[in-house]
A and B are shown apart, each in its own frame.
Chain A
Amino acid sequence: MLEHIKDWIERLRAGSTGGPDREHLPTPKTAGDQRLSDCRLIVLDLETTGLNAAKDNVIAIGAVAIKNNAISMGDQFDLILRRPELDISETVLIHGIGPEALTRGHETEDALLHLLEWMNGDPILAFHSAFDRRFLEKALKHILGYTQPHTWIDVAEMLPAFFPDAKTGGHGLDNWADYFDLEVSARHHAAADAMATAELTLAVLNKARKNGVTTLRDLNGKLKYYRQLKNMHRHG
């Protein structure tokens, strides 16, 4: 896969107009009887210019894929988008991407096309996925006119659902990373955060297996039940 991305970048550099076929973009898969142990799961993290999906934009995409309960380093996505027109002065301190890096980035359109193709319609997992989902769907719609909804799963929701007794001292990625003693190589780097999220997902999948949750449908059911339980506590 990495070779594939390299090839693609080479082609971009060479000025070729080839690339993903816009007419045949993958159709998202729905959560059914796919077995968690062998279906491919995308774990994604975005860096953005701010928190407001209405006016802020995506500047970096990092993602890894999980298959057979393993994160395969040959199957990952790590791109900074080229958006020189964006004002990033507010967030540059957090994610460390300066204007210079942005101009070196990739054409957003190409990057998104390639991301869609690479994701291949597989379910997308993210930490606080609602945030990433809003930004990504907005970008896909505005730039590519792509509106098909992917299956999204929130890792921040899965973790307490499967580890209800964990004392994490908070609900953030850092709290859970600390709980599992993870070393995050470069916090607030999209790819590194995606990696940390994926590592947490491996722990969840391990626990799910032991709890008899074997398919995507089972997982969705479990999360739905967890949500209801939480609401009951809240209202009760």
Chain B
Amino acid sequence: MTAAPQDSERPQNTRAIMTFLREHSPFSNMDDTHLAHFAEHASLRFYADGDVVLSPEDGPVKRFYIVKQGRIRGERERDRDGETETTFEISQGECFPLAALIGERSTRTLHRAAGDTFCLSIEHDTFVMLFSQSDPFRDFCLRGVSSLLDQVNQRIQTGAMASMGSSNSLDTPLERYAIRNPIVCSPDLPVRKAVARMHENSVGSIVITDDERHPTGIFTLRDLRTMVAEEKGPLDTPIGQVMTKNPCCLTAQADAFEAAMLMAEHHFAHICVVDEEHRLIGMVSERDLFSLQRVDLVHLARTIGTASHLRTLVSLRKDVSRLVDAMLAHGADSGQVVKIITTLNDVTVRRVLELNIKKNDPGIPFTWLTFGSEGRQEQTLLTDQDNGILFETPEGMNEDQVREKLLPFAETVNKELAECGFTLCKGNIMASNPKLCLSGREWDDWFVRFIDASTPQNLVYSSIFLDMRAVFGPMEPLDALLDKVLTRIRKNALFQKMLAGNAITRKPPLTMFRNFRYAPDGKKNTLDLKRQGLAPFVEAVRVFALANGVGAANTLERMQQLSQKGVFDAKDANAWQEAYSLIQAIRMRAHQEMLDRGEPLSNYISPDDLNPLDRRILRESFRQAQRLQQKLEVTYQF
């Protein structure tokens, strides 16, 4: 872009439009360059009283409008009597139609001019440009949409919103983003005074700390709003009574990515930054992070997490794909991308469960487990369901009685997850399977049998059930179970050796002369990146992790912890992490390309389609897998 012209150099009419815009939200908060872009690309239209401005018959909305003068009335036909009723009025300085424009669909409401009306409008491409470049504009547009979400249950497109910063910035340590010396107070300070302190410092949150500066709670303007609206107490209430306890904390060494994930997962907008002794040193907000990042991950996660209908969840899945698309396009690290997919998948699974509990609560406390790639947090867009239930048997009931209540519930959830794009598991590894809807005691028995009996089927299962995670419900029952399982495996050298033997049967696809060995089952001259490329890493690393008491399920995290424990040489661990990530990245890019071409997703690629650099990377990555398997062979003396 050329240097921004000074205001005085802009044409009078452009300046006049900018002046008009500045008087209204969100334009009042937008940069001059963005306002000028709006003004220079705007068109002015006239509608006489009663003229139709937008109609559901017009097809997908292509323009963003702002009323310059006059009024617009929204009209809908009432279902019961077919009479037309006015659903809203839009007056000077207000914008429309946000939901339809962002959803790239037609409006559901007839927009009609009430009195002679002038509207400024911008075309879709200008809208998309501003949406991706201007934070205040995007926030405004999305807020408008979210509040309408329940009413119209419409989908949100993130294609436009996912203009992201470079992946490097996600690696930036939090200390770069964090506000030093955040505003703090003690728990006995009256809310009124705390809010005054926030006001003086123009911040949206205050951290409540104890005498050692450990954060014990957080209070935000949103909390204040709830407190006033719900009349939770007078303003001289000590803040300790109304704060949100145990705020989310990360150390300064954590990176922006972790903070973003934490926010996305819990829908928090603020995270405390602490030192090793858990003393508060800073504060980072969603705004701090995302004004730099332009990732709409948090928003997407929040939209998924608050969706009120299954339909909305289903349609939001497309946005996950778009977000991935944008991240890959901007060169984001594949490890980050799979984690984001997993996080968004988790939020979706949780929301499906919540919605079903709301509709039809089985009345039994349970933990929803995921296995396999979802358990390892390594999901890509091609994913099927591997899940189960761990329940506590209420007093006075036996386990079969509990299952009677939980299984129909699980069946609905499995079905609805399938609608959201999580393919039903062909092997029936799903919570609706009575064999996988078990109490803590039953699960423990199950693992005992599993570890003691070395049947071929059990080895297949090992790649699924030994990578286990809780996504919903209390964590403690799973922690307790995992503890027992890990201890049992550590003590069972035979089981380890059997796992290791299984892991090395899956050789990386390289011939003796370091050419590619093609997949036996796929199309001619193709490689199966998942089974031939990633699986050797996943399986070998799992054996080392289980044998050394590493509780994490994620392959990269397992490698990290194994390196910290000294099981892996740091340099080796690094090379293996990198190799694994590179194969994953090539696989994900292939998936995105298949999506673009409208093909079904598969893990097969033809190395001939890769550029020479990628081919070399792939070959080197497979060689690293061979080295990892050699380490397994040496360790277990094959």
Asked whether B116 is an interface residue with its Cβ less than 8 Å from the other chain, the reply is yes
Q: How many residues of B contact A (CB 8 A)?
A: 26
Contacts of A72 in B (CB 8 A): 42-43
B16 CB contact (under 8 Å) in A2, A181, A192, A205? A192
Asked whether A70 is an interface residue with its Cβ less than 8 Å from the other chain, the reply is yes
Contacts of B46 in A (CB 8 A): 69, 199, 202-203, 205-206
Asked whether A81 is an interface residue with its Cβ less than 8 Å from the other chain, the reply is no
B464-493 interface code vs A (CB 8 A; 1 in, 0 out)? 000000000000000000000000000000
Near A by CB (< 8 A), chain B positions 62-80 give 69-70
CB distance from B74 to the nearest CB of A (A): 21
Near A by CB (< 8 A), chain B positions 14-28 give 14-17, 19
A181-199 interface code vs B (CB 8 A; 1 in, 0 out)? 1110110010110110011
B40 touches A74 (CB 8 A): yes
B47 touches A206 (CB 8 A): yes
Asked whether B181 is an interface residue with its Cβ less than 8 Å from the other chain, the reply is no
B44 touches A186 (CB 8 A): no
Asked whether B48 is an interface residue with its Cβ less than 8 Å from the other chain, the reply is yes
A2 CB contact (under 8 Å) in B15, B40, B48? B40
- The A interface is mostly helix, strand or loop, or mixed, namely mixed
CB distance from A179 to the nearest CB of B (A): 10
Complex CA gap A89/B58 in Å reads: 55
CB distance from A75 to the nearest CB of B (A): 9
Asked whether B6 is an interface residue with its Cβ less than 8 Å from the other chain, the reply is no
Contacts of B47 in A (CB 8 A): 206
Asked whether A76 is an interface residue with its Cβ less than 8 Å from the other chain, the reply is yes
Asked whether A123 is an interface residue with its Cβ less than 8 Å from the other chain, the reply is no
B69 touches A185 (CB 8 A): no
Complex CA gap A45/B51 in Å reads: 29
A157-194 interface code vs B (CB 8 A; 1 in, 0 out)? 00000000000000000000000111101100101101
Asked whether B246 is an interface residue with its Cβ less than 8 Å from the other chain, the reply is no
Asked whether A121 is an interface residue with its Cβ less than 8 Å from the other chain, the reply is no
Assuming the A-B contacts A2-B40, A69-B46, A73-B43, are A192 and B13 also in contact, with contact meaning beta carbons closer than 8 angstroms in the complex? yes
B116 touches A203 (CB 8 A): yes
Complex CA gap A189/B14 in Å reads: 13
CB distance from A4 to the nearest CB of B (A): 12
Complex CA gap A76/B11 in Å reads: 8
Contacts of B495 in A (CB 8 A): none
Q: How many residues of A contact B (CB 8 A)?
A: 31
B51 touches A2 (CB 8 A): no
B26-46 interface code vs A (CB 8 A; 1 in, 0 out)? 000000000000011111111
Complex CA gap A62/B16 in Å reads: 14
Near A by CB (< 8 A), chain B positions 503-528 give none
CB distance from B450 to the nearest CB of A (A): 69
Contacts of A194 in B (CB 8 A): 13
A70 touches B44 (CB 8 A): yes
Complex CA gap A18/B177 in Å reads: 50
Asked whether A132 is an interface residue with its Cβ less than 8 Å from the other chain, the reply is no
CB distance from B18 to the nearest CB of A (A): 10
Which residue of the partner chain B has the closest CB to A204? B46
Assuming the A-B contacts A70-B45, A74-B40, A202-B46, are A195 and B13 also in contact, with contact meaning beta carbons closer than 8 angstroms in the complex? yes
Contacts of A186 in B (CB 8 A): 12, 16
Complex CA gap A101/B337 in Å reads: 57
A183 CB contact (under 8 Å) in B13, B45, B48, B69? B69
Complex CA gap A206/B113 in Å reads: 13
CB distance from A191 to the nearest CB of B (A): 4
Near A by CB (< 8 A), chain B positions 255-269 give none
Complex CA gap A194/B16 in Å reads: 13
Asked whether B131 is an interface residue with its Cβ less than 8 Å from the other chain, the reply is no
Contacts of B69 in A (CB 8 A): 181-183
Asked whether B118 is an interface residue with its Cβ less than 8 Å from the other chain, the reply is yes
CB distance from A17 to the nearest CB of B (A): 22
B12 touches A73 (CB 8 A): no
CB distance from A53 to the nearest CB of B (A): 24
Complex CA gap A78/B44 in Å reads: 17
Asked whether A42 is an interface residue with its Cβ less than 8 Å from the other chain, the reply is no
Assuming the A-B contacts A73-B17, A185-B19, A199-B118, are A2 and B11 also in contact, with contact meaning beta carbons closer than 8 angstroms in the complex? yes
Contacts of B43 in A (CB 8 A): 70-73
Asked whether A22 is an interface residue with its Cβ less than 8 Å from the other chain, the reply is no
Residues of chain A touching chain B, judged by Cβ–Cβ distance below 8 Å, are 2, 6, 62, 64, 69-74, 76, 78, 180-183, 185-186, 189, 191-192, 194-195, 198-199, 202-203, 205-207, 210
Known A74-B40, A194-B13; further 8 A-B contacts with Cβ < 8 A: A62-B13, A70-B121, A73-B43, A78-B12, A181-B70, A185-B13, A189-B12, A206-B48
Residues of chain B touching chain A, judged by Cβ–Cβ distance below 8 Å, are 2, 5, 11-17, 19, 39-48, 51, 69-70, 116, 118, 121
